[in-house]
A and B are shown apart, each in its own frame.
Chain A
Amino acid sequence: MSEKTENKKKFDLVQFLISNALIILIIASAIFVGIQNPRFFSMANIKNLLANTSVRMVIALGISGVLIMRNNDLSAGRQVGLAGCICATLLQRMDYAGKVYPNMEPMNMWVVCILVMIGFAITIGLINGLVVSKLHVPAFIGSYGMQTIVYGIALIYTGAQPIGGLIPEYTDWAAGSFLNIPLIPNLAIVTAVVMLIMWFLYNHTPYGKKMYAIGGNPDAAEVSGINTTRMTIVSYMIAAALFALAGFMLGAKAGGTSSNLANGYELFAIAGCTIGGVSVNGGTGKVSGILVGVLVFEILKIEMTFLGIDTAWTYIVQGIVIVVAIALDIRKYIAKK
Chain B
Amino acid sequence: MSEYILEMKDICKSFPGVKALDHVSLQLKPGHVHSLMGENGAGKSTLMKCLFGIYKKDEGTVIYNGEEVNITDPFDALQRGIAMVHQELMPIRDRSIAENIYCGRYPTKGFGPIKVVDHKKMYEDTQALLDDLGLEFKATDKLGTLSTSQMQLVEIAKAVSANAKIIILDEPTSSLTQKEVDKLFEIIKRLTSNGCGVIYISHKMDEILKISDDVTIMRDGQYIGTWPAEGLTTDFIIAKEVGRELKDLYPPKINTPGETVFEVKDFDSVLDNSFKDCSFSVRKGEIYGVAGLVGAQRTELMEAIYGLRGITSGTVYYEGQTLKIKCPEDAIKNGIALITEDRRARGIFGVLSITDNVAVASLDDYLKFRVMLDHKKINEVVNRSINELSIKTPSPKEQIKNLSGGNQQKVIISRWLAKEPDVLIMDEPTRGIDVGAKYEIYSIIGRLASEGKTIIVVSSEMPELIGICDRIMVMCEGRITGVVEGEDMNQEKIMELSTRFKS
Contact = CB atoms under 8 A, between A and B. Distances in A.
A247 interface: no
A87 B373 CA distance: 36
A63 B59 CA distance: 45
Interface in A278-324: 283-284
Q: Which of A3, A5, A223, A337 has the most CB of B within 10 A?
A: A223
Given A206-B373, A224-B415, A283 B351 contact: yes
Interface stretch (A75-83, A179-187, A208-216, A256-264): A208-216
Interface string B53-69: 01110000000000000
B344 interface: yes
Interface stretch (B82-90, B113-121, B325-333): B325-333
- Give the contact-size bracket for chain A: 20 to 34
A209 B356 contact: yes
Given A2-B15, A3-B55, A209 B360 contact: yes
B328 A222 contact: yes
Interface in B357-371: 359-361, 363-364, 367, 371
A225 B339 CA distance: 12
Contacts, number: 93
A223 B340 contact: yes
Given A209-B363, A210-B360, A337-B56, A220 B14 contact: no
A216 B352 contact: yes
Interface of chain A, helix or strand or loop or mixed? helix
Contacts of B327: 227
A5 B356 contact: no
Given A219-B346, A223-B338, A227-B329, A5 B14 contact: no
Given A209-B359, A222-B308, A216 B331 contact: no
Contact of A220 (B15, B73, B348): B348
B1 interface: no
Given A209-B356, A222-B308, A217 B348 contact: yes
Interface in A190-212: 200, 204-206, 209-210, 212
A6 B348 contact: no
Nearest to A201: B371
A15 to B, nearest CB: 14
A5 B372 CA distance: 33
A284 B55 CA distance: 27
B349 A206 contact: no
Given A6-B14, A225-B331, A283 B363 contact: no
B350 interface: yes
A220 B346 contact: yes
Given A206-B363, A217-B346, A5 B329 contact: no
A117 B415 CA distance: 37
B347 A223 contact: yes
A227 B326 CA distance: 12
B360 A5 contact: no
Nearest to B373: A204
B345 interface: yes
A1 B15 CA distance: 10
A226 interface: yes
Nearest to A212: B352
Contacts of A337: 54-56, 73
A284 B353 CA distance: 12
Given A2-B401, A3-B55, A226 B360 contact: yes
Interface of B: 14-17, 54-56, 73, 306, 308, 327-329, 331-333, 338, 340, 344-352, 356, 359-361, 363-364, 367, 371-373, 375, 401-402, 415
12 contacts: A2-B15, A206-B363, A209-B356, A212-B352, A217-B349, A220-B349, A221-B349, A222-B328, A224-B328, A225-B332, A283-B352, A337-B55
